Amino acid sequence: MSYCNTQYHKTVHLITDNATALVSTHSSLNKEHSPQPISNHIRIDFSSYPIYSKTIYLDLNTLQSQQTLLHKSIRKSIMSKISSISFHSQHLSVCYDNDFCANFVVDTSERFYFYLIIAMFAMSLIVIVPWYFFYTQKLINPFIKMKKIADDLAIDQQLITYKSAFNFKNMAELISIVSEKLDKINDEKLRIFAAISHDLKTPITKATLYSKSHLNPKDQQALQKYFSDMDYLINQIQVFAKKSYFEEDFNQVNLSDLVESMYHEYHDAGFNVQFISSDIKPCIIKLQRKAFKRVLQNLIDNALKYAGDAQIKLINDALNNTISLEIIDSGSGIAEDKLSQIFEPFYRVDLARNHRIPGSGLGLAIAKEIIIKNKGHISIKNRTDSHGLIVSIYWKL
């Protein structure tokens, strides 16, 4: 007789063999003996009546007359009562006549896996639940902060709610609305700056002409310096407000040639400027040429203005596929806690507030906007080898 080689079929086979053997031997057995194991997971005991709800009644007269089909018939009856999958012990009573029954107990191995699954689930809950609440809080906090910003900006939030930490659609909508509001506020400020600077142009021009015709040369020269500083500030405000430098087309620019030509302009004019290039090969990059030249001029002017010298270093790093440009000076540097604010519009460090050094506080803000527009990155830091600053611009090619 052949059976499938599984735990279930092995179990059915053992019970069938024992139940078949008892057909001829049950009358001589003691019904009161204690349960006996017939395998490591099956036990058997005997009684005068069935003690389990699952019971098979065997008609001995019929079975004995069909001796060749006896084993097969009993096996089919047992398979109808024993489940192939169970997480609990299974019980079966096989009764042969009115006063003899064999009671089988099957301890299923699936119970172990059932308890293992429960233990793993419990461990998962212990680990996952705290992490869930932790990350939920992490996700909700930015949303709450954004809502506070929206409240401060008087944004209508009736249509914006969040039901869970993972409702990213509402978060995206709120970020979009806040961004649009901030853009409008920024545009309004720029329009106000542009309007004020435009309106100041006329009175400054009139005052300049008046000083030339009504004041003596000495007083005229003193006033002319103040008018010149005011005119420079107004021009910078207009440039920053109109952002006309964004309108220039992009072209392939040989950065080496551009930087070297600017170096010669300053050097020929008598300024203390040095140019160092790590590679004489052309550094071709797509730029807004005029806008970038404005950035480079502003950075060199700042170095000369506050330190009296400027060193321009161009590095073409083929290994890391980057091009970097550094403007280095030997001035007094900037306090570390103020470096993060240096690119903000109208921000000037204490040293630059000296009236003898003109400036608008917009040069670096404009420079950063142009660099970002030209797919570059700009940073500023104090030198570690001596006094001074290093302004770095780099592109990842």
Q: What does the DSSP assignment read for 165-223?
A: TT-HHHHHHHHHHHHHHHHHHHHHHHHHHHHHHHHHHHHHHHHHHHHHHHS-HHHHHHH
Going by C-alpha positions, the residue among 294, 297, 290 that lies closest to residue 249 is: 290
Most confident of 137-141, 253-257, 361-365: 253-257
Q: Using an 8 Å Cβ cutoff, are 197 and 234 in contact? A: yes
Give pLDDT, residue 299: 92
Specify the DSSP class assigned to residue 317: E
Q: Using an 8 Å Cβ cutoff, are 17 and 1 in contact? A: no
Q: Hey, what are 24's tokens?
A: 């001829």
Q: Hey, what are 76's tokens?
A: 């089919």
Cα(91)–Cα(111) distance, rounded to whole angstroms?
15
Run of H or E including 93: strand 90-97
The stretch 2-6 carries a mean pLDDT of 58
Count CB-CB contacts under 10 A for residue 231.
Answer: 15
User: How confident is the model over 295-338, as pLDDT tens digits?
Assistant: 999 899 889 988 899 999 998 887 788 889 999 999 888 888 88
Whether residue 1 is predicted with pLDDT greater than 50 in this model: the reply is: no
Q: Using an 8 Å Cβ cutoff, are 362 and 345 in contact? A: yes
Q: Using an 8 Å Cβ cutoff, are 257 and 280 in contact? A: no
Whether residue 111 is predicted with pLDDT greater than 70 in this model: the reply is: no
Q: Hey, what are 384's tokens?
A: 């570690």
Q: Among 29-33, 71-75, 88-92, 174-178, which is the least confidently predicted range?
A: 29-33
Alpha carbon distances (Å) from 204 to 188, 230, 238, 242, 394: 24, 8, 15, 20, 40
Give pLDDT, residue 2: 45
How much is the mean pLDDT over the chain?
78
pTM for this prediction: 0.52
Q: Model confidence at 33, in pLDDT bands (50, 70, 90)?
A: low
User: How confident is the model over 144-165, as pLDDT tens digits?
Assistant: 777 777 777 666 655 455 454 4
Q: Model confidence at 292, in pLDDT bands (50, 70, 90)?
A: very high
Specify the DSSP class assigned to residue 273: E
Percent of the residues in the chain that have a pLDDT greater than 90, as a whole number: 15
Higher per-residue confidence, 29 vs 396: 396
SS3 state at 314: strand
Sign of the torsion angle spanned by Cα atoms 75, 78, 84, 90: negative
User: How confident is the model over 363-384, as pLDDT tens digits?
Assistant: 888 889 889 989 899 999 998 8
